[in-house]
Amino acid sequence: MLDQARIDALRDAPVTPGAHIIDGARREASDGATMEVISPLNGQVLTTIPKGTAQDAEAAIAAARATHGDGRWADLAPAARKKILMKWAELIEAEAEDLAVLGVRNNGTEIGMALKAEPLTAVANIRYYAEALDKLYGEIAPTAPGNLGLVHREPAGVVGAIVPWNFPLMIGTWKLGPALAAGCSVVLKPAETASLTLIRLAELALEAGLPKGILNVVTGEGHVVGAAIAESMDVDVLVFTGSGATGRRLLEASAKSNMKRVYLELGGKSPNIVFADAPDLDEAAKVSAAGIFRNSGQVCVAGSRLLVERSIHDDFVARLAAQTENMKVGDPLDPSTNAGAVNSLRQLEQNLGFVEEAKSQGREVRIGGKRILEETGGYYMAPTIVTGVEPDDRLAQQEVFGPVLAVIPFDTEEEALQIANGTEFGLAAAVWTSDLSRAHRMVRKVKAGVVHVNTYGGADLTVPLGGLKQSGNGHDKSLHAFDKYLDLKTAWFKL
């Protein structure tokens, strides 16, 4: 339950300048440089964070390496690690509303979504992996008599985690939860435009009793801090959520350094496929609108391509437009708002550039397509539906990461599959149909790590999230996330 009085009290409250968290202490950048944090709500300076250097990243990595090596965390009894992580979750939960407001002021997500998706999801993530960590058993191999084969699971070592700005706490704890539960040490690099809540998260971890040096946070530019982490010879595992271009650079850095394992979630151009026999077209329109326009389209799994069977195309687009017109876009700290601000002016301009290109190609902007609320100084964009899009258009091929929906008609199931699979991405998808056999066929044939049926979004922590094709590799969420942070070691005995 949101406390509006508390939200209003925090809305304009001064924000303490951010700091690195290295070896348990708040630190400035080694050269004293800072970066302004601009709030997308009003375009004003919110506070500053350190503009980290390669030396800062190296100091954090050294702390993580030393503390992993001395076993202060990795060698703790699983029950002891669990106790600290559960206390951490308790402290986050106690500050959930404050963290949500801080996050909204930093990245623009609407408060109703932010509270649930950010601090409360972080709490759930940490508790889930804390509860699971003492239930991961080794194995005894079925060997011939006279031999004994044991399979041990050991923490992989130092983890470098680079996370994006759209859901820093949720995505951050998708990585921190299993990494810390597994006994690893972590160097976390937040996005430049969404570092504040993750800094506070690390401070709360220390309050909960996490040993110094186990979780380190270094803020700054990706090409400096992120590159230093990726190129380090002392980072064993690198996990990243973000763009494909950056993902490629991280793979190159791994190859040029110590060939560290790299796990990537690189976004998508997810198809939302509506057949004429969808069980409830109004529900499909309502959920589809949320699936692309919540958080102003800044969602990795956003259903940004709407594929509609031609016989219902006009009717369904009309229903979708009606749902969209009823969405309230504006002040993210107003609980009645359905979509908040775009994260930055740069992102807003990129979104509008996609729309202008589509218009130049003769595509129809059915609704939206423009900046709104410019008088606030903030970065707001009207939810946008573009029809007449061709499958090979850039709008249908490249991730916008904004509130822009490309609508494409199809005639047959085979054509829908061809269009759905006709991009370099493969993160998420949805199928709306009353035909159970068709649903199973589509789940099997659509190339995506998550395929929703008669819904969009909402898959909880019990199932993995990972991409196919150029949407990445490895999985966040579920018990499968542990695979990234645990090494298998065989012990072979001659009896």
What is d(CA 272, CA 304) in angstroms, rounded to the nearest whole number? 7
The count of other CB atoms within 10 Å of the CB of residue 341 is 32
Residues that are catalytic: 265
By the 8 A CB rule, do 460 and 482 touch? Answer: no
Contact, 281 vs 257, CB < 8 A? no
Rounded-to-integer distance, Cα 458 and Cα 477, Å: 13
> Using alpha carbons only, what angle is made at residue 451 by residues 448 and 456, rounded to the nearest 5 degrees?
125
Beta bridge partner(s), residue 238 = 160, 262
Of 477, 486, 368, the closest CA to residue 427 belongs to: 477
Sheet of 404-410: strand order equals 364-367, 384-387, 404-410, 305-309, 271-274, 428-432, 450-453
- The C-alpha atoms of residue 101 and residue 163 are separated, in whole angstroms, by 19
Give 311-359 as a DSSP string: GGHHHHHHHHHHHHHT--BS-TTSTT-SB---S-HHHHHHHHHHHHHHH
Element (H, E) at 26: strand 25-27
Comparing CA positions, the residue from 193, 432, 426, 126 lying closest to residue 300 is 426
| Structural element, H or E, at residue 417 | helix 413-420
Report the distance separating Cα 348 and Cα 403, nearest Å: 10
